[in-house]
């Protein structure tokens, strides 16, 4: 599998090294030529010199032949912009890094549902370890044809959760209202801007995407 990264921070390099160990082809886009020359001596990866938010540079990464574009820079805005440009150029999947929860919400509204929040994930993990608990990642328990889908509620969806018409084999897992976690069993009413997390069968994804368009995505 061919994977592309924008930037060369510690997160990018750690992920790139693991992917290379698994036999994947890795391409890294970096602005600094000196940085490229240094990394080329220790990483068996391809390098592209340039700005990862430039369409011309991203085209050099061959979107049609690349499975995933990771945008893991320090700036949320830059990562989201690069993700949107990458998606428009035809990358099969784009994964922007987002640190600020407000930008995470915006990323979902823009259809960048594969965005990751490493700082928040690590902080939550440490919090659970301090409490003597071992957190269980959702990705470890989702198997087979189960898929997680998320969308941001609009005025149209506002109202009792029970009135939200969903396809068969689809259930609400939880609702995020800013940083507050709401469970469907508590009978909350959806408000515009709520982030709704669903679990569904893989065969229902097209129905969900048709209904929520770029506002939703699957993982």
Q: The domain at 138-218 falls in which architecture?
A: 2-Layer Sandwich (3.30)
pLDDT over threshold 90, residue 50: yes
DSSP character string of the chain: -EEEEE--SHHHHHHHHHHHHTT-EEEEEES-HHHHHHHHTT---EEEES-TT-HHHHHHT-GGG-SEEEE--S-HHHHHHHHHHHHHHT-S-EEEB--SHHHHHHHHHTT-TT-B-HHHHHHHHHHHHHTT-----HHHH--TTEEEEEEE--GGG-EEGGG----TTEEEEEEEETTEEE-GGG-PEE-TT-EEEEEEEGGGHHHHHHHHGGG-EE-
**pTM of the complete model beyond 0.75:** no
Domain boundaries, the chain: 2-123, 138-218
Calculate mean pLDDT across residues 7-17. Answer: 91
Range from 30-39, 158-167, 207-216 that averages highest in pLDDT: 30-39
pLDDT tier, 129 (very low <50, low <70, confident <90, very high otherwise) = low
Calculate mean pLDDT across residues 181-207. Answer: 86
pLDDT over threshold 90, residue 43: yes
2-123 folds as Rossmann fold (3.40.50)
- Res 147: pLDDT: 81
pLDDT tier, 138 (very low <50, low <70, confident <90, very high otherwise) = low
Calculate mean pLDDT across residues 120-142. Answer: 57
Percent of the chain surpassing pLDDT 70: 84
pLDDT over threshold 60, residue 217: no
Look over the chain and give the mean of its residue pLDDT values, rounded to a whole number. Answer: 84
- Res 78: pLDDT: 94
Q: pLDDT (tens digit, 9 = 90+) per residue, 56-113?
A: 999 999 999 999 999 999 899 999 999 999 999 999 999 999 887 778 778 877 888 7
């Amino acid at each position: 599998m061919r994977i592309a990264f924008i930037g060369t921070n510690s997160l990018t390099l750690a992920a790139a090294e693991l992917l290379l160990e698994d036999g994947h082809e890795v391409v890294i886009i970096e602005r600094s030529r000196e940085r490229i020359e240094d990394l080329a001596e220790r990483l068996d990866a391809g390098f592209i010199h340039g700005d990862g938010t430039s369409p011309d540079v991203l085209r050099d990464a061959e979107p049609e032949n690349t499975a995933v574009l990771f945008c893991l820079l320090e700036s949320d805005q830059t990562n989201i912009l690069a993700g949107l440009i990458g998606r428009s150029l035809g990358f099969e999947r784009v994964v922007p890094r987002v640190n600020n929860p407000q930008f995470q919400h915006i990323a979902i509204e823009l259809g960048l549902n594969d965005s990751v929040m490493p700082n928040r994930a690590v902080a939550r993990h440490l919090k659970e370890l301090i409490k003597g608990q071992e957190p269980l990642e959702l990705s470890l328990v989702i198997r087979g044809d189960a898929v997680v889908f998320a969308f941001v509620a609009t005025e149209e969806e506002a109202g009792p959760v029970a009135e939200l018409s969903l396809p068969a084999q689809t259930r609400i897992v939880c609702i995020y209202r800013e940083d507050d976690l709401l469970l469907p069993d508590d009978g909350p009413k959806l408000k515009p801007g709520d982030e709704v997390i669903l679990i569904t069968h893989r065969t229902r994804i097209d129905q969900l995407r048709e209904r929520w368009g770029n506002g939703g995505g699957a993982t």
